[in-house]
């Protein structure tokens, strides 16, 4: 099956580039409410399921035991910019869990946010694991290791109790036996299991069930602190600030997962070629097309469906837009 074009980039009067992809919108009973493309194909959700990786941190009692705040729980579900506020909260999580920064196994990279990156360079400081966009998630995983009484060393390994606890929860939510699914190593070195879009969407519908207390705590934490999930100028932060009833998370290689708790819907989208620019406008197009919003929410989502493309002199040269299918 060849997936449809879900986003395009124009320049002048023509389309310069096209992005294909697939998505599924599923309710809590597992009914496919809307879909395009091959939703049975397994895709790596990457960071789009950080909220699921955070569930055992709460359900194991680690979050309560170490006194994690809502801000910290939000950072645990984030792909953050490495801004000073993100780094501060990650360090607080480490300290509460009794974990040293040297235990991080996510690898170091420069903060995504230019101002934060340049501030380090100006002060002659190297980038560190705490600047890694996943450092909140990893601080949560290290706390989980402590709570489980496991050796924190090697916590990113497939067979480590931390990853096994996470795999169990993802499998339950997605209604799939993860041991039978392809597994890869993510950018931050933890396992990422390939899961059909349809099952990912189902999982987010289930995640949004108000009966799911740990999930409700996560959703409320993210709703209260959307900045923690991404950062200044980032799509996920901006769209959740504009539409607080939406729960959304990006993953590398063109993935988006979302939940609409008030409507009981879960959504999963993958851009075939992995482009983030297409995933952003594409998921906005899918969301804006659902009849579950107030007119104000719908108008806000519509604004995220397209944006101007400007060149180095800030001249408008084209547009990036998600398509209504």
Contact residues toward a second copy (CB under 8 A) are: 2, 9, 11-14, 16-20, 42-44, 105-109, 118, 121-122, 124, 132, 182-189, 192, 194, 253-254, 271-275, 278, 311-315, 317-318
- Structural tokens at position 150: 């496991």
Min CB(33)–a second copy separation in Å: 26
- Residue matched to tokens 């009833």: 245
Min CB(194)–a second copy separation in Å: 6
Identify which of 146, 175, 179 has the alpha carbon closest to the alpha carbon of residue 162: 146
Identify which of 124, 137, 122 has the alpha carbon closest to the alpha carbon of residue 54: 137
Min CB(318)–a second copy separation in Å: 7
Output 30 or 107, the one with its CB closest to a second copy. Answer: 107
Output 34 or 276, the one with its CB closest to a second copy. Answer: 276
Give the count of beta carbons closer than 10 Å to the beta carbon of residue 223. 18
Min CB(79)–a second copy separation in Å: 12
Strand pairing class (265-271; 247-251): unpaired
Cβ(78)–Cβ(136) under 8 Å?
A: yes
Distance CA 97, CA 108 (A): 20
Min CB(313)–a second copy separation in Å: 4
Output 254 or 266, the one with its CB closest to a second copy. Answer: 254
CA 269 to mean position of chain CA atoms = 12
Cβ(46)–Cβ(257) under 8 Å?
A: no
Output 61 or 182, the one with its CB closest to a second copy. Answer: 182
Min CB(238)–a second copy separation in Å: 23
Identify which of 37, 79, 46 has the alpha carbon closest to the alpha carbon of residue 272: 37
Min CB(103)–a second copy separation in Å: 14
DSSP reduced 3-state for 76: helix
Output 212 or 232, the one with its CB closest to a second copy. Answer: 232
Output 27 or 105, the one with its CB closest to a second copy. Answer: 105
Distance CA 73, CA 212 (A): 16
Output 74 or 320, the one with its CB closest to a second copy. Answer: 320
């Amino acid at each position: 099956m060849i997936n449809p074009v879900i986003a395009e980039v124009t320049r002048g009067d023509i389309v310069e580039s096209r992005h294909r992809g697939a998505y599924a919108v599923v309710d809590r009973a597992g009914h496919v409410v809307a879909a395009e493309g091959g939703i049975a194909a397994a895709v790596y959700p990457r960071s789009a399921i950080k909220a699921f990786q955070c569930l055992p941190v709460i359900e194991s009692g680690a979050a309560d035991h170490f006194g994690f705040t809502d801000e910290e729980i939000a950072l645990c579900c984030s792909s953050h910019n490495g801004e000073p506020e993100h780094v501060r909260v990650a360090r607080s999580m480490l300290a509460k869990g009794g974990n040293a920064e040297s235990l991080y196994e996510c690898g170091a990279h420069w903060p995504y946010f230019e101002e934060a990156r340049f501030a380090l360079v100006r002060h002659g400081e190297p980038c560190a694991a705490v600047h890694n966009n996943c450092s909140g998630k990893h601080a949560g995983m290290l706390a989980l290791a402590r709570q489980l009484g496991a050796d924190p060393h090697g916590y990113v390994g497939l067979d480590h109790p931390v990853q096994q606890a996470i795999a169990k929860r993802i499998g339950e939510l997605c209604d799939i036996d993860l041991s039978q699914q392809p597994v890869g190593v993510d950018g931050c070195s933890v396992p990422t299991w390939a899961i059909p879009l349809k099952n990912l969407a189902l999982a987010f519908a289930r995640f949004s069930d108000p009966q799911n207390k740990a999930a409700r705590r996560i959703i409320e934490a993210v709703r209260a602190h959307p900045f923690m999930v991404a950062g200044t100028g980032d799509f996920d932060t901006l769209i959740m600030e504009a539409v607080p009833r939406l729960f959304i998370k990006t993953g590398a290689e063109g993935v988006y997962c979302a939940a609409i708790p008030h409507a009981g819907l879960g959504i999963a989208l993958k851009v075939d070629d992995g482009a983030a620019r297409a995933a952003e406008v594409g998921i906005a197009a899918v969301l804006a097309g659902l009849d579950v919003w107030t007119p104000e929410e719908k108008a806000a989502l519509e604004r995220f469906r397209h944006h101007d493309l400007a060149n180095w002199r800030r001249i408008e040269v084209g547009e990036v837009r998600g398509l209504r299918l």
